Chains A and B, each alone.
Chain A
Amino acid sequence: MLPYLIRRHPVPVALVSAFLLAAAFGPWLAPGSMTETDLSAALLGPGGGHLLGTDSLGRDVLSRLLGSARVAAEAFVIVVLIGGVAGTVMGTLAGGIGGLPDMVISRIIDAVQGFPTILVAIVIVALLKPSLTNAMTAVGIAAIPDFARVSRSIAIQLRDREFIQAVRGLGASEIGILWTEVLPNMIGPLIVVASFDGAQAIMWEAALSFLGLGVQPPSPSFGSMLREAQDYLSIQPWLAVVSGMAVSAVILGLNLLGDALSDYCELAGA
């Protein structure tokens, strides 16, 4: 699969690889400190000693962007863990068993689908406190329907296929069949969903941290950097430009990868 992706879709592979490298090795790649301030070197433009300039407290922008990539990756993981696990379990059970469980789960999914994510985030943050985990829990809940609908439709398609009936004839339990036969067959489409919802997760991390509901200063994140940049739009617009371009590149990479992977799944006949 990877050689195919590299050959046919080099742009998303490059963007997502760069993001993953930054998230994994950011602290070691960073030229400076993410939090160390130097007021004598505040709001510098790109070039010179700081490749991408400095922010209002003189912190190195490139280093902070690398740190933001790690936070974005954490946001991705939280959302895919909550949405992916809960959604896939619900969808597989609904589709695989049918009947009353299917009806109840489908109703719940319909109700959650489309509800304004930000309201859930506001309620969770009001009850607890602003933090990355709390904010992204809301986004994870919003991602449940996406995973549930895909896994449900695949489970329905597979439920009465011959190889499943064969296993059933051998005396396997229904739950066992879902786990060992149905689940492995939905990995491909679920990765496609994870790619798109991961892009959404990073967009939401930026928005919620921008609003002050997510990552708190002085920790860097795409959203908190844009929030700080807003105060200096007339003095140093570069700050907002470069932070926004970085987060957009990551989201674009994941969206394009999702498109590429879904093409691949179609070709592979999954």
Chain B
Amino acid sequence: MLRHLARRLAGALIALLCVTTLAFFATALAPGSPASVLLGNMATPERVAAVSRQLGLDKPLPTRYLLWLEQTAQGNLGTSNLSFQPVADLLGAALPVTLELAFLSLALSVLVAFPAGLLLAQHRQRMWTRPAMAAITLGVSVPGFWVGLILIVAFAVKLRLLPSGGYVAFSRDPLANLRHMVLPTVSLAIYLAPALVRFVRVAAQTVLREEYIDTARSKGISSARVLLHHVAPNTLVVTLTYIGLQLGVLISGAIVIEVIFALPGIGRLGMSAVLNRDYPVIQGVVLVAATAYVAVNFLVDIAYGLIDPRIRAH
């Protein structure tokens, strides 16, 4: 187990290094020096040179990269060119919003898709099987952010049941927080749930073909019990890895959904930074999102190894 852990940790650290490099070069190679962006219309060649020296931009690229790594490791991510606030503060304020959105939609997706996938695997010839599979193909093909727009029309504009956007912190008003999160959560779940149902269905069908399922059945255990006690746990293990692989989809989807529903999360912060060329913030957003991606994949790997001893041997 220790060797498995060590190898995974090494892999995660290498991935993290690649990711930080990506984040650094996203800004270091950007056109227009940060100094002239900072100075705006007060920029003269002398001033740009002075500010560049002050920011350490006159040093060679590898030196700057090492300095940047050192600063980043200490949690110093620079200041926004736009609001002049520390990037770490901006990210700190935005992160809880994104985490809440991601957690809620992941929970919703799993709660709906896992039982649905199991049922579709168990009952392959029912009347509702074909329409259900067609609905899933439709779900995979519909852009989640469009569903978000349609939900706004239906529930915010026409029915006036839920807010069309904005955010209230859970600590300030739990009920208002949840009301604001309903539509974004459902829209983001559209990115994950249909593909998850498909995956669970195939995974459960594979388990259903195993001999121990026949054995259980021949002992007279009801199919519902077999599904719950034998098929479900074994399917869950594979599903966990699949969810780890879908994390990129979750992060990408969350960014789009935050923009639509005006949620002040990492995604909206990043998008306004890109459109305003606020490079320190872009760097911070890429860094946080990519680190989250690497970290969660690492945790999934570890969890998978803990649940299934066969993995450790490889």
- Tell me whether A61 is interfacial, beta carbon within 8 Å: no
- Tell me whether A19 is interfacial, beta carbon within 8 Å: no
- Tell me whether B111 is interfacial, beta carbon within 8 Å: no
Residues of B within 8 A of A43 (CB): none
Q: Which of B23, B149, B275, B285 contacts A244 (CB 8 A)?
A: B149
- Tell me whether B36 is interfacial, beta carbon within 8 Å: no
Residues of A within 8 A of B153 (CB): 233, 237, 240-241
Spot the interface stretch: B26-34, B71-79, B89-97, B211-219: B26-34
CA distance A179 to B50 in the complex (A): 57
Residues of A within 8 A of B5 (CB): none
Indicate if the CB atoms of A233 and B274 lie closer than 8 Å: no
Closest B residue by C-beta to A213: B274
Spot the interface stretch: A83-91, A116-124, A151-159: A116-124
Chain B positions 161 through 175: 1 when the CB is less than 8 Å from some CB of chain A, otherwise 0: 000100000000000
- Tell me whether A17 is interfacial, beta carbon within 8 Å: no
- Tell me whether A215 is interfacial, beta carbon within 8 Å: no
CA distance A241 to B27 in the complex (A): 38
Indicate if the CB atoms of A127 and B26 lie closer than 8 Å: yes
- Tell me whether A106 is interfacial, beta carbon within 8 Å: no
- Tell me whether A251 is interfacial, beta carbon within 8 Å: yes
- Tell me whether B237 is interfacial, beta carbon within 8 Å: no
Which residues of B in the span 274-293 have a Cβ within 8 Å of any Cβ on A? 274-275, 277, 279, 282, 285-286, 289-290, 293
Chain B positions 186 through 203: 1 when the CB is less than 8 Å from some CB of chain A, otherwise 0: 000000000000000000
Residues of B within 8 A of A237 (CB): 153, 157
Indicate if the CB atoms of A126 and B252 lie closer than 8 Å: no
Indicate if the CB atoms of B137 and A240 lie closer than 8 Å: no
Chain A positions 21 through 48: 1 when the CB is less than 8 Å from some CB of chain B, otherwise 0: 0000000000000000000000000000
Spot the interface stretch: A170-178, A183-191, A252-260, A261-269: A252-260
Indicate if the CB atoms of B145 and A226 lie closer than 8 Å: yes
Chain A: residues with Cβ within 8 Å of the partner, total of: 38
- Tell me whether B86 is interfacial, beta carbon within 8 Å: no
Chain A positions 118 through 149: 1 when the CB is less than 8 Å from some CB of chain B, otherwise 0: 11001101110010000000000000000000
- Tell me whether A210 is interfacial, beta carbon within 8 Å: yes
CA distance A192 to B252 in the complex (A): 24
Q: Which of A111, A125, A199, A226 contacts B146 (CB 8 A)?
A: A226
Closest A residue by C-beta to B29: A127
Closest B residue by C-beta to A208: B256
- Tell me whether A115 is interfacial, beta carbon within 8 Å: yes
Chain A positions 220 through 254: 1 when the CB is less than 8 Å from some CB of chain B, otherwise 0: 00000010011001100100110010011001100
Residues of B within 8 A of A111 (CB): 15, 18
Spot the interface stretch: B115-123, B228-236, B243-251, B304-312: B243-251
Residues of B within 8 A of A233 (CB): 149, 152-153, 157, 164
CA distance A255 to B26 in the complex (A): 34
Indicate if the CB atoms of A241 and B141 lie closer than 8 Å: no
CA distance A123 to B287 in the complex (A): 11
Indicate if the CB atoms of B146 and A247 lie closer than 8 Å: yes
CA distance A122 to B266 in the complex (A): 13
Closest B residue by C-beta to A202: B143
- Tell me whether B43 is interfacial, beta carbon within 8 Å: no
Residues of A within 8 A of B286 (CB): 119, 122-123
Residues of B within 8 A of A259 (CB): 137
- Tell me whether A206 is interfacial, beta carbon within 8 Å: yes
Residues of B within 8 A of A99 (CB): none
- Tell me whether A207 is interfacial, beta carbon within 8 Å: yes
Indicate if the CB atoms of A211 and B256 lie closer than 8 Å: yes
Indicate if the CB atoms of B251 and A241 lie closer than 8 Å: no
Residues of A within 8 A of B152 (CB): 233
Chain B positions 1 through 45: 1 when the CB is less than 8 Å from some CB of chain A, otherwise 0: 000000000000001001000110111011100000000000000
CA distance A117 to B286 in the complex (A): 11
- Tell me whether B142 is interfacial, beta carbon within 8 Å: yes
Indicate if the CB atoms of A118 and B255 lie closer than 8 Å: yes
- Tell me whether A113 is interfacial, beta carbon within 8 Å: yes
Q: A229-B149, A233-B157 are in contact. Are A126 and B141 (CB under 8 A)?
A: no
Residues of B within 8 A of A116 (CB): 247-249, 251-252, 289-290, 293
Q: Which of B137, B248, B251 contacts A255 (CB 8 A)?
A: B137
Q: How far is the CB of B285 from chain A (nearest CB, A)?
A: 7
Closest A residue by C-beta to B27: A126
Binding site for B on A (CB under 8 A): 111, 113-119, 122-123, 125-127, 130, 199, 203, 206-207, 210-213, 226, 229-230, 233-234, 237, 240-241, 244, 247-248, 251-252, 255-256, 259
Binding site for A on B (CB under 8 A): 15, 18, 22-23, 25-27, 29-31, 137-138, 140-143, 145-146, 149-150, 152-153, 157, 164, 245-249, 251-252, 255-256, 259-260, 270-271, 274-275, 277, 279, 282, 285-286, 289-290, 293, 297
Q: A119-B289, A206-B143, A252-B138 are known contacts; what are 13 more A-B pairs with Cβ within 8 Å? A: A113-B245, A114-B248, A116-B247, A117-B252, A123-B26, A127-B31, A206-B146, A210-B256, A211-B259, A234-B157, A244-B146, A248-B142, A251-B143
Instruction: In the A-B complex, list the 4 residue pairs whose CB atoms are closest, starting with the nearest.
Output: A244-B146, A252-B141, A118-B252, A116-B248
